[in-house]
């Protein structure tokens, strides 16, 4: 009887995560689905905006079903006739982060959201899920997609030339990163190209990316801004740029982001991409990133190299911040729930995390003493709080810049994501 149960579970798992035949369901193009998040701290509504047909599909044609299941959100594309899931991806959003701020208790706001998928040949249904407090994905929105709908826009605006920064092969078989500029004038496009080359060198200076060069393509898009720099509201500096990037996001001075997500996707669509990285033409310290949304960095600060790679950890693999001293966010990691991020734990379900990477002689939780500083353990403090949330190592790039490398838990996650896109 036990054997039958095990076989049944294996069959269910196989059906949930089995991949599909790309040629059977998709026509070679890319479909972009734009929407709005609307609400406050405790409410959310997703409102349809528009659909766009973009260029050739450059994502994986093999791994169409997301087996990683990272992110605060998840979307699935269902074949209407069979209800079979034919494409899925996890992601997070700026809206979800905003909901954990003090402002979200006081007012409603609207944020832009967008996902891309292979363009379906047949009528499909998109279902967008959101994690509830217990980290279960709950259906939040559904919409029927008819590929013959003449209201699907053609992406004929915001056309800019792209260029190759690092090439290793067919985009559908590689992780494609696109660098897009903000705050670079037309006269500064050479600087942007030079900055792209520099960031590419930075990426491959770090493990595990130094061993993954043959699985990664890097592109750039020449999209100049009317003015140089970026907004700094705290100093009353306002600049007319392509992507409207700004310091003081959520009133945190160093949090450099943009809420103009539709424009970000417009510019990124000029090149193949799995990951979007925005380079902002400023020497002021700052940056930010959200999983499968975008990453962003200042380019001319003395700490740019570390900001660049730290933020990419967030954007590529959903790595959490491992420091515990930031009051910007509230209740982001309830201590009675295991976080979905691979590099944090509340010990509620530690078996699902890095427990098998810890030496049997290392205590759990792990003391912050010299004896354990260079070991994988369970160190208290992470996810912006000092108590109840734990990180894998005493220090790492996701904790502070006094470290200049990812810990082994983070490296493993980064490798898994690159492999997922490059198989």
Confidence class of residue 4 from pLDDT cuts 50, 70 and 90?
A: very low
Which of 309, 315, 374, 314 has its CA nearest to residue 343?
A: 314
Reported as a single tens digit per residue, the pLDDT across 106-156 is 999 999 999 999 999 999 999 999 999 999 999 999 999 999 999 999 977
Asked if the bond preceding 275 is cis, omega within 30° of 0, the reply is no
Q: Look up tokens 């994690």; give the residue.
A: 131
Percent of the chain with pLDDT over 70: 94
HEC string of the chain equals CHHHHHHHHHHHHHHHHCCCCHHHHEEEEEEEEEEEEEECCCCEEEEEEEEEEEEECCCCCCCCCCCCCCCCEEEEEEECCCCCEEEEEEECCHHHHHCCCCHHHCCCEEEEEEEEEEEECCCEEEEEEEECCCCCEEEEEEEEECCCCCCCEECCCCCCCEEEEECCCCHHHCEEEEEEEECCCHHHHHHHHHHHHHHHHHHHHCCCHHHCHHHEEEEEECCCCCCCCCEEHHHCECCCCCCCCECCECCECCECECCCHHHHHHHHCCCCCCEEEEEECCCCCCEEEECCCEEEEECCCCCHHHHHHHHHHHHHHCCCCCCCCCCCCCCCCCCCCCCCCCCCECCCCHHHCCHHHCCCCCCCCCCCCHHHCCCCCCEEEECCEEEEEEECCCCCCCCCCCCCCCCHHHHHHHHHHHHHHHC
Q: Look up tokens 């990133």; give the residue.
A: 289
The CA dihedral of 264, 269, 273, 275, to the nearest 10 degrees, is 10
Reported as a single tens digit per residue, the pLDDT across 197-232 is 999 999 999 999 999 999 999 999 999 999 999 999
Q: How many CB atoms lie within 10 A of CB 254?
A: 14
The encoded tokens of residue 412 equal: 């493993």
Reported as a single tens digit per residue, the pLDDT across 248-287 is 999 999 999 999 999 999 999 999 999 999 999 999 999 9
The mean of the pLDDT values for the chain is 94
Q: What is the pLDDT of residue 328?
A: 65
- In the predicted model, is pLDDT for residue 15 greater than 90? no
Q: How far apart are CA 324 and CA 382, in angstroms?
A: 4
């Amino acid at each position: 009887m036990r054997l039958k149960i095990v076989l049944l579970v294996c069959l269910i798992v196989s059906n949930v995560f089995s991949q599909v035949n790309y040629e059977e369901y998709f026509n070679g193009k890319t479909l972009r689905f734009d929407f709005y998040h609307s609400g406050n701290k405790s409410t959310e509504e997703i409102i349809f905006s528009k659909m766009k047909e973009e260029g050739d599909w450059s994502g994986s044609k093999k791994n169409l079903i997301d087996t990683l299941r990272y992110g605060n959100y998840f979307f699935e594309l269902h074949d209407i006739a069979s209800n079979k899931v034919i494409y899925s991806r996890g992601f997070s959003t700026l809206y979800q982060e905003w909901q954990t701020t003090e402002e979200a208790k006081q007012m409603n706001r609207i944020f832009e959201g967008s996902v891309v998928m292979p363009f379906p040949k047949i009528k499909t249904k998109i279902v967008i899920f959101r994690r509830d407090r217990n980290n279960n994905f709950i259906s939040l929105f559904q919409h029927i997609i008819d590929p013959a709908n003449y209201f699907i826009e053609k992406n004929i605006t915001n056309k800019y030339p792209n260029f190759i920064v690092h090439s290793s092969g067919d985009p559908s078989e590689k992780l494609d990163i696109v660098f897009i500029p903000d705050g670079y004038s037309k006269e500064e496009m050479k600087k942007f190209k030079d900055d792209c080359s520099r960031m590419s060198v930075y990426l491959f200076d770090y493990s595990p990316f130094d061993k993954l060069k043959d699985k990664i393509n890097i592109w750039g898009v020449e999209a100049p801004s009317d003015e140089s720099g970026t907004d700094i509201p705290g100093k009353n500096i306002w600049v007319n740029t392509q992507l409207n990037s700004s310091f003081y996001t959520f009133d945190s001075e160093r949090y450099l982001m943009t809420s103009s997500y539709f424009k970000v996707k417009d510019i990124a669509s000029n090149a193949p991409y799995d990951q979007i990285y925005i380079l902002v033409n400023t020497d002021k310290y700052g940056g930010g990133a959200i999983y499968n949304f975008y990453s962003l960095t200042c380019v001319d600060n003395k700490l740019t190299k570390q900001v660049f790679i730290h933020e990419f950890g967030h954007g590529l693999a959903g790595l959490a911040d491992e420091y515990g001293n930031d009051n910007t966010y509230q209740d982001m990691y309830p201590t009675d729930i295991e976080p979905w991020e691979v590099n944090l734990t509340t010990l509620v379900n530690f078996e699902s995390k890095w427990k098998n990477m810890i030496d049997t002689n290392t205590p759990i939780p792990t003391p912050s003493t010299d004896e354990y500083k260079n070991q994988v353990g369970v160190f208290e403090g992470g996810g912006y709080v000092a108590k109840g949330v734990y990180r894998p190592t005493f220090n790492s790039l996701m904790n502070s810049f006094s470290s200049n490398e990812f810990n082994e838990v983070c490296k493993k996650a980064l490798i898994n994501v690159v492999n997922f896109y490059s198989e």
